[in-house]
Structure 1
C-alpha cells in the first residue's frame, strides 16, 4: 500500500481511498478541519461505502466559533457516513500494471523452495520435533502464472486505481489479454479505464463492477479519441454493475466508444430517467446497435414505459429487468422487441396476471424468469409455475428449467379446470340462481383469462367434460378408480386405500372417507391429486367450505388418479401469523423512526438558521 509521505501529496477530489482495515471510500474534501487542534494540519474528508465506518455527515463544530462548519456533504442519507482521516492513514490505490506484475510471477523470479523445501520454515510434529515444510510442484505452478501464457486475468479487490506504466510497456506486458476482471477495485476516472483498454488491443470482456466511476460526460480525452476513430471494436462484453452511474445519458455517450458491445450489464445503477432521455431523442436509446443482452436489474425503474424504450434495439435477445418496481407490462407494438427471446422479471412489483398475458405479444419470447412477485406471493412455486406456463403460450424455459411437452399439457389442463371452476361459481353454480348479473360476472372472469377458450378447445378430447360441479346427471353417475395415500405424520406409514367412487363424489365426502381411514379430522386435511406419475400435482380446492361441495370431476380427477392427504401444519400457520404481525409492527416502527429522523433534521436546520442569524447579528454590530 502507498500512503501520503507528506501533506504536499494531496489526493484529487472524488478519487477513491482505502484505510488499513480495507474500508473503501470517496474523497470529498482535502484541507484543514475546523474542529481540529491544529488548524494547519491537512485532513482528508471521506464518505465511506460502509456507513458504519463513518462518524458524521461532513460537518463539525468549530473550535473557534462553536458554530457548525460543513466541509463536505455526503451523498448518503445516513448522518454518519463521513469522517476526517489523516492522509498518512489512507491508501489511494495502485496501478493496473504493477498489480498485474505482482500477481503473476515473472519467469526469472527466484524460486521460493528451490529444493522443494522452504528454507527456515518448520512445523512442529506430535513428538515435539521440527519438520521442514516441503513445497512440491512450484515450477509447474509458475508455468501457469506467467502473464504471457494466459488470456484471462482476475484482479478483484486489489486496490487498482489507475493504469500505470508507460503505454508501450503495458502493451508489451498484457496486450494479448482477452478478458480482464477488475471487480471491486478503486478505479474512478474513465480516462484511466480508457488507458487500460487502449493498450489491450485484443480485449473482449472487461468487468468493472463495484468500482465507483465518475460520470463520463463529457468524454475524457482517451475515450473521445477512441469514439472519433471508430471506438474499441474488440470489446464485446462490458460489466458496469454497481458503478454509481446516474442517468442513461452517462451510458448512451459510451455507445460510440464501444460500438461492438453485444453484452452490457448495468445493474444497480440509477437509470430512472431513461424514458425522458429517450423521448428527447425521438423515443430511442442511443448507441449499442449490436447489443444482444442488456441487464438493467435494480436500476430504479418504476413503469413499463421505461423498459419499452429498449424495444427499439433491433438485435436485443435477452433483457434482464429483475428487482425493478414496475407493476405491469404492455403488449409489444409492431416491430417492438422483435427479436427478444428471453425476459427476466423476477423481484418486480407485478401484481396482476394481465401483465403475464401481455407477454404473448412478444413473438420470439421463449425464456422467462418470473418469481418473487406480488401476483404469485400467495402461491407455492409449483402452482405459480403451472399458471405461468398455461398463460404464456410459447415459453420453453421458465426460471431456468425446461418446460416439457407433458408439463405444458398438464399445466394447461389444470388451468382450464381452475378457470372453469371460477366461471361456474360466478355464474351462480349452474343452479336456478344464475341471472344476468351472474353471467356478466362470468364474462368478466373470462376476460381475465384470454387463453381459456383456446385451451379448453385444445384439451377437450382428453379432459372430463366440465359440468357445473353438482354431481348430477351422467357426470355424477360415472365411476372412477382412485388411490388415496396419507402423507400426514401420524398415518403416512399406513397402506394406501383403493376405491371405486363416483366422479360426482363431493370433496367433503372424500374427506370424511379419509377421516375414517386415516383418523384425521377433515378441518386438518389438505388434499392434492395427480392424474398419473408424470403429471403435475394439483390441489383439490383451497380448503374452503364451498370447495367441499364441489365434485372430483369438477377438479379433473380421472380414472387412475392418485390422491394425497396432507395435514395442515398448525405450527407453520402460527409462524406465518406471528411473522405477519411482526412485519406490521416493523413497518409501524420504521414509520416512527422516519418521523423522528425528520424531526431531528428539522431541529438541526433550525439550529443552523439560528446560528446564522446570530452570526449576521454579530457582524452587523
Structure 2
C-alpha cells in the first residue's frame, strides 16, 4: 500500500499536492522526458491540463477533458496516519499563554469591559490534550492515508473531510479501533467503489455516515456502503451526482434521516423508490431538478401508506411548475407535518408571491405544523384555509354545475376543499357578492375595540393595507389616541357569512379589494 511517511506510492493511491487532491492512475516514463512520472486525475475537473493523452500518446484516461496531469513524485505532499495527525493537532505543545493578548485587548474594547479575563483555558486545553476524554475529533484537508495505532475509548464523532484515504479497508481499520464511534464524516473524499471483498466489512456501531461531495453517482454503490452499516440511522449524500435511485428497503431498514439534496435527480418517480423505507422520518431532496411531485392515486378522503413514517420533507429550490398541484399531492401523506419549500425563482423575502405560497401550503396540507422551519399558529392556519376557500370558490361552483363526475375530479385535485366546505359552508353567497357591480370606493366604519369609538370614512378599494394603517393612525390621533403607532395595533373585520371568523388585514402590500370589503363593513382597531 501507499507509504506512510515517504513517496513509496502506487497506482490508485490518493495524494495531495498543495490544496488539491487526486488519484494516481499512471506511473512510468513519458515520451521525450527522463525519469518517473506520476499521472494524476484531480478531484477538481478543471485542475489539470489534459485527459491523460499527451502529444498523441495515451497514458491514462480521466472522466473529464481537463482533469489529468503528469507530475514528479517530489511534488506529492508527505503522507501521515490518523494516529500521527491526532498527536500533532491535539497533543502538540502550546505556548505558555493560550490567549492572544492583542485579541483580548480588542475584545475588551468592543465590549467596553476593561477588566475582562478569559478563565478556564488551561483546563480546557488539558481536557482536549487527553485523548481518553475526546468525544469529537475534526481533521480536515489532511494527507491521512492509514489508521495507525488508535486508543480513543470515548470518541463518538470523527470528521476526516478531504483526506488521502483511498479505500474502505482503511476506513474499516479506523472504525474497528474506535468501538465508541457513532458518527463518521468522510465528505470531500474519493474512497474507491466498494469491492466484493469490502462487502464483508461491517461498521455495526455507526449510526451516522456523511459522504457529501464524494463523487458518488451509482446508487448501487451507495447501497453497498449502506449494507456495511446495518444500523445506520442518518445518511448524508449531498452534492454528489446521483441521478437514479432504486428500491432500498433491504439496505436501509433502520434509516431515519436521508439527505440527498444538491444532486441531479430530475424525476420525482426516483424519490418514490424510497417510499417503502419503514423508519424514514426526514427526507431532504432540495436543489435537485424535478419539476413536479406526483404520488400514487388515492381517494380524496383517504391517505397513502407510502412514506408511512415521514414527518419532515425538504423540497426547496426544485423547479416546480405547479405549486398547487404539488401541495395537493403532499396532502396524501399520512404523517407529513414539516415542509420546507421555496421556488427557485422566488426569494423568501419577496412580497406577495411568497405569502401566496405559504397560504396555499398551509391551506391545502391538513397536518402541516411547520413551513420553512416556522411554526404555524392557529390564526395563520385559519387565514390560509379561508383564503383557499375563497380562491377555489368559482372552480368549485363550476364543477357542481357539471355533475358528480366533474365534482369528484375537482375533489381529487383539491383534496382540501371538502374540509373547507365543512368549516365555512358553500361559497355561493361569496360569489354573488363578488359578481356585484364593481365600485371603486366604499364607505366603511372603524371601531376602536378599546374605547368603543366609531369613525366613518370613504376609502378607495385600490388603497393598500399599509396606507389604511396610516389613515387609521391619523384618525385615532385626532381622537385622543395619540399614543398609537403603526406597530401597536391590528386591523380586522368579521366575515359577513361566518361571525366566528376574524379576518386580519395583515398583508400590507395587498389592496382592500383583496379582502372583499364592501359598503358598511366594520373594521376593528385592536391594540
Distance change (3 Å), C-alpha of 1:114 and 1:500:
closer
- Structure index of larger Rg: 1
Contact 2:82 2:146 in 1 (8 A): yes
1:159 is aligned, of 119, 124, 143, to 143
**d(CA) in 1 for partners of 2:347 and 2:86?**
48
CA deviation profile, 1:218-250 (whole Å, cap 9, x unmatched) = 242xx61x4xxxx33321111111112231211
1:419-498 to 2 correspondence within 5 Å? 419-420=392-393, 448-460=413-425, 465-471=430-436, 480-481=444-445
1:507 aligns with 2:507: no
Match for residue 30 of structure 2? 33
Cα distance in 2 for partners of 1:340, 1:364 equals 6
The aligned residue for residue 106 of structure 2 is none
Residues 36-65 of structure 1, C-alpha deviations (whole Å, 9 max, x = no match): 4x3x4111222223345322232221xxxx
Q: How much has 1:560 moved relative to structure 2?
A: 1.4
> Which residue number corresponds to residue 113 of structure 2?
none
Within the candidate set 58, 80, 93, 2:79 is matched to 93
Q: Which of residues 93, 96, 105 in structure 1 aligns to 2:91?
A: 105
Query: Structure 2 matches for 1:505-544, cutoff 5 A?
Result: 507=461, 536-537=506-507, 540=510
- Contact 1:470–1:551 (CA<8 Å) still a contact in 2? no
| TM-score between both structures, scaled by the size of structure 2 | 0.75
* Aligned mate of 2:42, from 44, 48, 52: 48
Deviation of the 1:392 alpha carbon: 1.0
5+ residue gaps, structure 1, are: 62-67, 119-134, 279-283, 428-435, 484-497, 519-528, 542-547, 563-621
SS in 2 for 1:467: helix
1:347: how far off? 1.5
Alignment CA distance shift 1:458-1:42 (3 Å): same
Residue aligning to 1:346: 316
The verdict on how the C-alpha distance between 1:396 and 1:137 changes in structure 2, with shifts beyond 3 A counting, is closer
CA contact (8 A) 1:407 1:536 kept: no
In 2, distance between residues paired with 1:364 and 1:383?
Answer: 24
**1:201 and 2:187 are equivalent in the alignment:** no
Aligned match for 2:279, one of 290, 297, 315: 315
Find the aligned partners of 1:466 and 1:556 in 2 and give their Cα distance. 16
With over 3 angstroms needed to count, the CA separation of the structure-2 counterparts of 1:535 and 1:409, relative to structure 1, is farther
Note the alpha carbon deviations across 1:147-184, whole angstroms, 9 max, x for none.
22221111122232221x2xxx31xx223311111122
The CA distance in 1 between the partners of 2:234 and 2:504, in whole Å, is 38
Q: Find the counterpart in structure 2 of residue 335 from structure 1.
A: 305
The one of 339, 353, 360 aligned to 1:380: 353
Deviation string, structure 1 residues 527-556 (Cα, Å, up to 9, x no partner): xx9658966417647xxxxxx9x7863799
Structure 1 residues 551 and 383, CA gap change in structure 2 (3 angstroms): closer
Residue 294 (structure 1) aligns with? 258
Look up the match of 2:132. Answer: 148
Instruction: Kindly tell me the number of residue pairs found equivalent between the two proteins.
Output: 462
Verify the 8 A CA contact 1:252 1:286 in the aligned structure 2. no
- Tell me the equivalent position of 1:73: 61
Cα deviation 1:257-300 (Å, max 9, x = unaligned): 2111111111222333323xx3xxxxx54312111111111332
Residue pair 2:132, 2:153 contacting (<8 A) in 1 also: no
Partner of 1:210: 188
1:198-235 residue CA offsets vs partner (Å, 9 max, x unmatched): 11111111111111111113242xx61x4xxxx33321
* 2:156 matched residue in structure 1: 178
Q: Is the 8 A contact 2:4 2:79 kept in 1?
A: no
CA offsets per residue over residues 291-334 of structure 1, 9 Å max, x none? 11111113322222211121111111111111121222233575
SS in 1 for 2:35: coil
The alignment partner of 1:387 has SS state of helix
2:337 to 345, 358, 366: 366
2:10 to 12, 20, 39: 12
Given that 2:133 and 2:154 are in contact with CA atoms closer than 8 Å, whether structure 1 keeps it comes out as no
**Structure 2: gaps (5+ residues):** 102-117, 299-303, 448-454, 472-490, 494-501
Deviation, structure 1 residue 476: 12
Residues in 1 aligned to 2:209 and 2:294: alpha-carbon distance in whole angstroms: 29
TM-score (norm: length of structure 1): 0.64
Taking only aligned residues, the RMSD between alpha carbons, in angstroms, comes to 4.4
Does the residue aligned with 1:148 lie in a helix, a strand or coil?
Answer: coil
Rounded Cα–Cα distance in structure 1 between residues aligned with 2:176 and 2:140: 20
Residues 413 and 463, structure 1, Cα contact 8 Å, conserved in 2: no
The structure whose residues are more often helix, as a share, is 1
Q: Which whole-Å CA distance do the structure 1 matches of 2:519 and 2:13 have between them?
A: 66
Shift of 1:195: 0.7
1:412 offset after TM fit, Å? 1.5
Report the secondary structure of 2:320's partner residue.
Answer: coil
| Aligned counterpart for 1:241 among listed residues 212, 218, 223 | 212
Deviation at 1:75, TM superposition (A): 1.3
Question: Match of 1:380, SS?
Answer: helix
1:575-614 to 2 correspondences below 5 Å: none
Q: Is the 8 A contact 2:442 2:518 kept in 1?
A: no
